[in-house]
Amino acid sequence: MANSSLGSVIDSYDGVFRLDADPTSGHEDDVGEKTSVRVVAPNSISELDVKRELLQNETLVFYGSEHIFSLGLAPKVIFNISSSYPDMAVYRMTDGFEMAANSLFELHTNIKRRKVEMEFSSAFHAVLLMMDVCQESHLYGFIPNEYCLDSRLSQLASYKYYHQRKEDLTECEVYQALAEMGSNRPFKEREVIKDLQEEGKVTVKNRSGPKQVI
């Protein structure tokens, strides 16, 4: 999304879903500033607590196993956020939602979730939630699998739009590192997204050309 200049387009939608503790401040030209719903992974809960100031008048949706929200850090963070923002709605995705995600993933990949060795990403959860609550779902920031096969393009897309240092890994390098650890989850998730686009259930707003950072 870096250098995309899509901020005003993104802000023009009725609702904007964001992920984890991803900021908008300082990146408004590229990603906009509106946040309607924020989908948060278990491993981003502590970061969100530290960066509580980035929260707006938005809805928080957490996901993860039930025990995460009854023990440890998560209950404390949710309490802190609720105390700081008493009008903010906070939810956890139900086991039924996770089962539906499992079924959709298996339907499109013929792979059971446990075989990909990792939890689904925040982005994947957000897409499924958008499909459930929105009339139309327009996705920004998704790169197609074949993107990483192009040696020129694969060096352009940073893993996070706010990570622009030379030493930061690109998105394709992160995918490769995960693959070397035995997880092909990112590639398989994008196969599902591609199928959903072909079925007309989502629209992926990719850009192409020298400035492409999706």
Task: Identify the CATH number of the domain defined by range 7-204.
Answer: 3.90.1480.20
Q: Is the pLDDT of residue 159 over 80?
A: no
* 181-205 pLDDT per residue, tens: 767 778 888 889 999 999 999 999 8
In sequence order, which residues have a C-beta less than 8 Å from that of residue 43 and are 6 or more positions away? none
Separation CA 38–CA 58 (nearest Å): 7
Residue 210: pLDDT band (50, 70, 90) is: very low
How many C-beta neighbours within 10 Å does residue 110 have?
8
For residue 199, CA distances in Å to 194, 196, 204 come to 9, 5, 12
* 100-158 pLDDT per residue, tens: 999 999 999 998 877 665 689 999 999 999 999 999 999 998 876 677 766 655 566 66
What are the two backbone dihedrals, phi and then psi, of residue 158, each rounded to the nearest 5 degrees? -70, 150
Output 164 or 173, whichever has higher pLDDT.
173
pLDDT, averaged across the chain: 83
Determine the pLDDT at residue 174. Answer: 77
